[in-house]
Structure 1
Amino acid sequence: MARLGGGRTDSGLVTLDEAAADAVSRVQPVSGTMKLPLAEADGHVLADAVIAPLDLPPFANSAVDGYAVRFADLAPGAATRLPVLGRTMAGEPSALLEQGAWRIFTGAPVPEGADTIVMQEDAVAGDGAVMLPAGIRRGANLRLAGEDVARGHEVLPAGRRLRPQDLGLLAALGLGEVTVRRRPRVALFSTGDELTEPGRPLGPGAIYDANRAMLRAMLARAGAEVVDLGILRDEAKDLEQQLRDASAGSDLVITSGGVSVGEADHVRDAVLACGTLDLWRVAIKPGKPIAIGSVAGTPFVGLPGNPVAVFVGFAFVARPLLARLAGEAYVPPRAHPIRLGFAHARKPGRREFLRVSLEQGVDGSVVARRHPGEGAGSLASLAQSDGLIVLAEDVARVEAGDSAPFLPYAELL
């Protein structure tokens, strides 16, 4: 089980970067590896670097359908007529070419002695011979052995979260299985007497638990094994024991709701009763009340109750912590500058995330339009937008036409 180190409690706001770095610094990657077939390895984290066991491609082959020739046999500055001596298709053994031309197809091994491939579209064949145009470049359309990957070279580093293209590369190298890290086990629950499980009748004053559904999916996309503990009620006497139970056998505990300062927000007190609270309030909007600490020695992240704040808090605090637990070589989300189609004024001091949709402007360039649902409780604003505009802590105002950093949701999920 992963453990947090010694903590600190900060009564003031900490910056988002400080909060994320502090959380990451307190955990170590989980132990344990396993071998998986490639068909099951997508999204898992490589335990060891992969060294190419062979050249890729393993032999010189043709990039096109055409004719293999020796460049020295082509007349300089003029067309050349050569006899066609044979043919090789993909999957057939290589041949020997001492002179003349050899009919060849895409992917077929190049005959020994040939060093140039002429595309069939540029050649005129007939009567057992082929006319080749002038101006052919030496080595044209020839794929050399090892030009993509050289045997013995590292092709994927340890800590890489495997993607479909990575699996394709491993398959091309003939690897049927790969050694990956164990996935972090995350205990997840929501708190709130007002919450109802989706699919059940909704009582007076009740709302459906949307946060847990969103977090389950975000955790799964981040490569976690999710233990869904459902909805816990705001009963102070029960929460401490429930937190202890959740920590047993888990590498991380994540909750939603109950970490603010309301009379019914008991998660914070329950954490302090059975663990530590290292950070509590973060200088971001939305999502200021984020609790980071430990419960019975297991890392703990308490996210706010508002859905947009949950999304932001997970993406920028819990996600890098989870990557560290997973042993992932994590790359923070990369923002791209984009032109704003709106003005916005605010009080500086917190990093703010604005939900926007991308549209094509009148001049053909892409413009970010702010979603009308501005509240931290607006799930529609997340579902109906394309990403987040990031306003740094010292920014007081932006105008339409200004450029601002944009984070597409694809960078966060």
Structure 2
Amino acid sequence: MSTLPKLSATMNHIPASNPDALRVDEALQLIKTFVQPHTQSLTTELIPLQQSLGRVLAKDLISPINVPAADNSAMDGYAFNSASLFSTSSQFIALKNMGAALAGKPFLTEVEVGACIRIMTGASMPLGCDTVIPQELVQIDGDLISFATNAVKAGDNRRLKGEDLKEGKPALLAGKIIRPADLGLIASLGISQVTVNKKLRVGFFSTGTELRSIGEKLDPGCVYDSNRYTIFGMLSRLNLDLIDFGVVPDQPEDLRLTFATAAAECDVIITSGGVSVGVADYTKQIMQEMGDIGFWKLAIRPGRPMAFGSISSENHQAVLFGLPGNPVATMVTFYQLVKPALLTMAGASHTDTPISKARSLTAIRKLPGRTEFQRGQLSISSDGMPTVLAMPSQGSGVLRSMSEADCLIVLGHNQESIEPGELVDIVLFEGLI
């Protein structure tokens, strides 16, 4: 990985509208600018196609063949020369069937004007044929077929050679995250291996003396650590190489050792907890001692406190995200700021979160001056319009509401209160691909 720039230098190039409450879009721009050098030194690997799902394509994938390899039929029917349409003044035309063409078994004889051949979907167009009449539009009488001359136009229902992909042209561009359809596309080219960027190695841990891991005794005043499992789940969907450093108590020796180990082994470190103003722990102090860290107040709800920068150990730098400790705030800041940055570092070309629209079923109170994310439940109204219901519990510590919700309602920085029936932006938790 390349050396990261100074965080202060990066911030100087991105003037904040309010340094005491950084806008979400400003914070994201700053983070992406800071981590950009990592993309300049990404290492690659050649892997089997079936192992490439979710990986980032490292270089343009050039098609070695035309797809389709030859003109072929788009449907079951009869292929013929369109000149036949102009060989008669009648409203109907009759053609003599000379044979059949199947997918993988072409008809090898030239078809003359006034003749046709039975053809199946995907079968190569015989020499002399440029048009297909669907089988449901013809009448059959022995070896003759007939149909209305206005039922089809020259060139109809024919897929052209190279129509999908042309030999020597890019089939997929570098930076593409490989999805199921891409696997099929690559396979259609006869390619069995692809060059992808190596996975980012991400280390994560929770901080707090009060935290206990699953299976440990829950002492008075202590709570089970949930954030680490939530972060694990969110990271797992990004196809990364993960290292779980567990729960680290608020002790200087433990924190220094964990930060040093994580920085030496990882490209990115993600922590939760210990970044709020006035927190009585050592996390912020150790971060500053070992790295180039900025502590921000974001104009966001939930998720106001955040730390960002880099940690150094053994001549290696790791990007650091210090997320707030409240469970919902952890998730919101991860999806809005960390996920796009990780995709950028991984070399992905598209990192923006898709936004949809829905009609709000409830009034939502909102003051301008910060971006708010409310948990919502999506449904479809009787008129087919997506509608969203804001969950009644919106506290940043109410993780159950995130489990019950299926989307986030996004209220922009300058947006004011929402009345029932108004359109709002939403981010879906789940997607098809």
The one-letter amino acid paired with 2:119 is I
Match of residue 74, structure 2, among 63, 78, 96? 63
Evaluate the alpha carbon distance shift between residue 94 and residue 215 of structure 1 in structure 2; reply closer, same or farther with a 3 A threshold.
farther
Distance in 2, matches of 1:359 and 1:279, equals 39
| 8 Å contact kept, 2:76–2:134 | yes
Distance in 1, matches of 2:432 and 2:189, equals 31
Per-residue CA deviations over 1:242-279 (Å, capped at 9, x if unaligned) read 10111112111111112113544432111011112124
Shift of 1:73: 2.2
The one-letter amino acid paired with 1:23 is I
Match of 1:345, SS? Answer: coil
Per-residue CA deviations over 1:59-82 (Å, capped at 9, x if unaligned) read 111111221111222434432222
Match of residue 330, structure 1, among 318, 342, 350? 350
Match of 1:12, SS? Answer: coil
Distance in 2, matches of 1:2 and 1:192, equals 32
Shift of 1:406: 1.8
TM-score (norm 1): 0.93
Match of 2:393, SS? Answer: coil
Could you tell me which runs of 5 or more consecutive residues in structure 1 were left unpaired when the two chains were aligned: none
Structure 1 residues 214-229: aligned runs within 5 Å: 214-229=230-245
Match of 2:414, SS? Answer: coil
Within the alignment, does 1:147 sit opposite 2:163 as a pair?
yes
Shift of 1:94: 4.3
Distance in 1, matches of 2:131 and 2:97, equals 15
Structure 1 residues 295-334: aligned runs within 5 Å: 295-296=311-312, 297-334=317-354
Question: Percent of aligned pairs with the same residue?
Answer: 36
Q: Which residue in the other structure is 1:350 paired with?
A: 370
The one-letter amino acid paired with 1:238 is D
Evaluate the alpha carbon distance shift between residue 141 and residue 214 of structure 1 in structure 2; reply closer, same or farther with a 3 A threshold.
same
Evaluate the alpha carbon distance shift between residue 412 and residue 374 of structure 1 in structure 2; reply closer, same or farther with a 3 A threshold.
farther
TM-score (norm 2): 0.89
Distance in 2, matches of 1:364 and 1:147, equals 35
Match of residue 194, structure 1, among 203, 210, 218? 210
Per-residue CA deviations over 1:21-67 (Å, capped at 9, x if unaligned) read 11221222252101111111111111111222221111111111221
Distance in 1, matches of 2:158 and 2:203, equals 54
The one-letter amino acid paired with 2:148 is P
Match of residue 98, structure 2, among 82, 85, 93? 85
Evaluate the alpha carbon distance shift between residue 338 and residue 278 of structure 1 in structure 2; reply closer, same or farther with a 3 A threshold.
same
Evaluate the alpha carbon distance shift between residue 76 and residue 378 of structure 1 in structure 2; reply closer, same or farther with a 3 A threshold.
farther
What is the aligned residue count?
Answer: 413
Shift of 1:133: 3.1
Structure 1 residues 238-277: aligned runs within 5 Å: 238-277=254-293
| 8 Å contact kept, 2:343–2:351 | no
Within the alignment, does 1:18 sit opposite 2:26 as a pair?
yes
Evaluate the alpha carbon distance shift between residue 109 and residue 200 of structure 1 in structure 2; reply closer, same or farther with a 3 A threshold.
farther
Distance in 2, matches of 1:412 and 1:229, equals 32
Could you tell me which runs of 5 or more consecutive residues in structure 2 were left unpaired when the two chains were aligned: none
Match of residue 121, structure 1, among 136, 145, 150? 136
Distance in 2, matches of 1:266 and 1:356, equals 36
Q: Which residue in the other structure is 1:207 paired with?
A: 223
Structure with larger RCO (C-alpha < 8 A, sep 6+):
1
